[in-house]
Structure formats: C-alpha cells, structure tokens
Amino acid sequence: MTQAIRAPFTGRAASTSLTTRALLACGAAAGPLFLGVGVIEGLTRTPFDFTRNAISQLSLGSLGWIQVASFLVTGALLTAGAVGLRRAIGHTAGGTWAPRLVGVFGASFLLAGVFTADPGAGFPAGTPDGPAPLSGHGTIHMLSGTVGYLALCAAFLVLARHFAAQGRGGWALTYRLLPLGVFAGFAASAATVAAFTAAAGLGLLALTAAIARLASLAPTVRR
C-alpha cells in the first residue's frame, strides 16, 4: 500500500495575498485620511480660510503638529501602497513605473511634513494678509509638492496603460484625462486657493480609486 507524500501547507500563498491586500489598503486609505484631517482642521482652526489658505499651512501654529503628523502618516501609507502595487501588478503592463511614481508621491508627503509651508494670507493668527517671503523650508515644501504631483499625474498615465491592457477602457480613459483636471485646478489657484485644494484632493481620491480597483483584483493578478 502506497501513501502519497504531501508537503506541509505553510500558508505562504495566503499570507502573501493578505500582505499585498494590506499594503494596498494602506495606499487606498492615504488620500481620505489626509483630506479628512485637513478639512476638519480647516473648519475648526481660525482664521483659516479655504479660499485663501492651503491645507499645508495647517502645519503652522500651536496645533500644527496635527497636520505635520498627517503629512508623515500619509507619506508612509502611500509608500506602503507603492510596495503593494509592485506586488500586485509588478509583472503586468505599467507594473514597473506605476509603483515607483506612487513611491515618489509618497516621499513628497514625507518631505512636506519635515519642511513646513510658510505662513501667509493671515494664517496663522497674526500673520499679515499678504504673501510671506519664501523661506528655505518653504521652498523645499513647495518643490516637494510640485515633484510629487507631477509623479502622481505620470502614474495616472501609466495606470491608464495598465487598465487598457486589462481591457478596462473606461478606467483607461479616465486616468488619461485625470492629469488635465489636476493641472487645470492648479492653474486656477491664482484666482482662489480652493481650486488648488480641489485639484490636490482630486488627485488623492483618484489614486484611492485606482488602488481600490486593483486591490479587488489582487487574488487574480500576478504578484
């Protein structure tokens, strides 16, 4: 009588899938967390005004540590999400550059948390209404945001390629058009800072949607 010899089940495949899902969940949570903290703080901290002040300026003042923490946590979550993307779509179309670009986007939040924005437009309280002189840390903050959102828009185009290769034409078209919406909002910020905030929020939420969609496919995609 012969007996089949079976290798013991280690749970590696299941744990890998769970790890990938957890990393993607981190990336998907980043945008809503950052925007939620920013909106709540903006509504409760006087004299903050969404039409005149950027969410980044909430890093200033006695409660600025809350927004600094939000930047740092968001950056860490986005970095984790980038790793999750690499595991989920790394061997598919767009699977090399999309995670890298999202990683750059995450790094920009970490830098923005370390190097805070400059005061201005009456915030924090006691700040003159006009724009403040640009400091060294303010310059790094601004440049990190610029590079980060350029990377995000590039990631959208790469993800559009991924969605197209998977036969998801609607998603592909949406992510080809999203950079135009983000750039249009940034361009309109000369009229109102709220346009800048809306564009930044659009980018964050669009990334959340893409990661959530990819997470739903995680068990069937090659890691």
* pLDDT tens digit sequence for 129-141: 887 789 999 999 9
**Distance, CA of 92 to CA of 87 (rounded, Å):** 10
pTM higher than 0.75? yes
**Distance, CA of 220 to CA of 197 (rounded, Å):** 36
* Segment 188-223, tens digit of pLDDT: 998 999 999 999 999 999 999 999 999 887 554 444
**Distance, CA of 94 to CA of 105 (rounded, Å):** 16
Amino acid residing at 114 = V
With 0-12 / 13-18 / 19 or more C-beta atoms within 10 angstroms meaning exposed / middle / buried, residue 215 is buried
pLDDT confidence of residue 45: 97
Name the residue ranges covered by the structural domains of the chain: 21-216
